[in-house]
Amino acid sequence: MNIPFKKLHGAGNDFIIIKYDSYPYEKKFNDLAVKSCHRRFGIGADGLMIVAASKEADFKMYYYNSDGSRANMCGNGIRCFAKFVYDEGLVKAKNFTIETLAGIKTVEILEKNGSVYAVSVNMGKMTLEPKKIPVKAEGAKDFINRTIKIEDKEFLVSTVLMGVPHTVIFTDELDMNIVKKFGPIIEKHGFFPEGTNVNFAKIVDEAHIEVRTWERGAGYTLACGTGVTSVCGVAHLLNLAGDTLLVSTEGGTLKITVMENQLMIMEGPAEDICYGVYVFNNIL
Ligand SMILES: N[C@@H](CCC[C@H](N)C(=O)O)C(=O)O
């Protein structure tokens, strides 16, 4: 089957985007994600998004990780999704809404000299309630500053829901050996019945944080939008950082603003990589 696609990235977090009409088989989207995201046998990407019609918003976004699991939300992905629908002429306005499994998000296209240079997204509020995240924390009102022991190492973790579950670990030094060794172990730790994304964060100063994320369902990625937003939310909550933050990831910089009402606004890049036709066969 021949499926037209575009590939975009947001700070190095890369995505394949297709229209629902090109492949209207919802039950098989996870299979399509596994195969098309494969970096040897497919196009290669961290995730797959499908653009569909919505009854409640201007568009509906389906998001799948490269391992085929569906996720409620993707911060870098939604910016790429917004640029895609705008560039394709599917929407004329620069402000519009996108339905996700984490609710309806409002996006704004930021354009200079006729081309999109960034997208701003109202990410909503972070949720601390253990049941909603979900995280096992009997009777507790949150899962902030808890200790997880793995082998001989202890991690001080805070877990929140920013559309998807995120665990934040502040550290003085970002060590990729630690990220890649303990990220996958914490992702599947018994505390988290649906798994968790894992963010290691170094506070540079109150306006600047560096983050490395191990993503649930995709492994280490060059940036994670919901992850960066969660890190800023937790840093703000613990009085470790201010309201306006620049966050460096390996793939680029995102700007996060924590509003007075605790809503979080994320601004960051969305860039085209290529477009073409994916020749989808079912052999991997
Ligand atoms: N890359 C994303 C998050 C994608 C979903 C995540 N891996 C999950 O399963 O929770 C982002 O930019 O937010």
Whether 18 contacts 83, CB under 8 Å? no
What residues make up the domain containing 88? 2-121+269-279
Active-site residue identified among 37, 80, 224, 232: 224
Q: Is 80 a catalytic residue?
A: no
Are 258 and 148 found together in one domain? yes
Does residue 130 lie within any of the structural domains?
no
Q: In this structure, what CATH number is given to the domain that contains residue 49?
A: 3.10.310.10
Whether residue 252 has its Cβ less than 6 Å from ligand 1: no
The residue whose two tokens read 């990780």 is: 65
pLDDT in tens, 66-118: 999 999 999 999 999 999 999 999 999 999 999 999 999 999 999 999 999 99
Q: How far is the CA of 180 from the centre of ligand 1 (A)?
A: 17
Is residue 95 in some structural domain? yes
58 and 98 together in one domain: yes
pLDDT 10s digits, 33-66: 999 999 999 999 999 999 999 999 999 999 999 9
Q: How many CB atoms neighbour CB 139 within 10 A?
A: 5
Looking at residue 242, its amino acid is: G
Whether the model clears a pTM of 0.95, i.e. scores above it, the answer is yes
Residue 54 included in any domain: yes
* Token duo for residue 284: 């991997």
Phi, psi of 167 (to 5 degrees): -105, 130
Q: Is residue 128 part of a domain?
A: no
Q: Which residue carries 């996958």 as its tokens?
A: 184
**Cα 221 to the center of its chain, rounded Å:** 10
Q: What is the DSSP letter of 21?
A: G
Q: Does residue 137 belong to any structural domain of this protein?
A: no
Q: What six digits make up the tokens of 271?
A: 């860039």
Instruction: Assess if residue 162 is contained within a domain.
Output: yes
Q: Let me know if residue 189 belongs to a domain.
A: yes
C-alpha 121/C-alpha 78 separation (Å) is 8
Residues 177 and 231 in one domain: yes
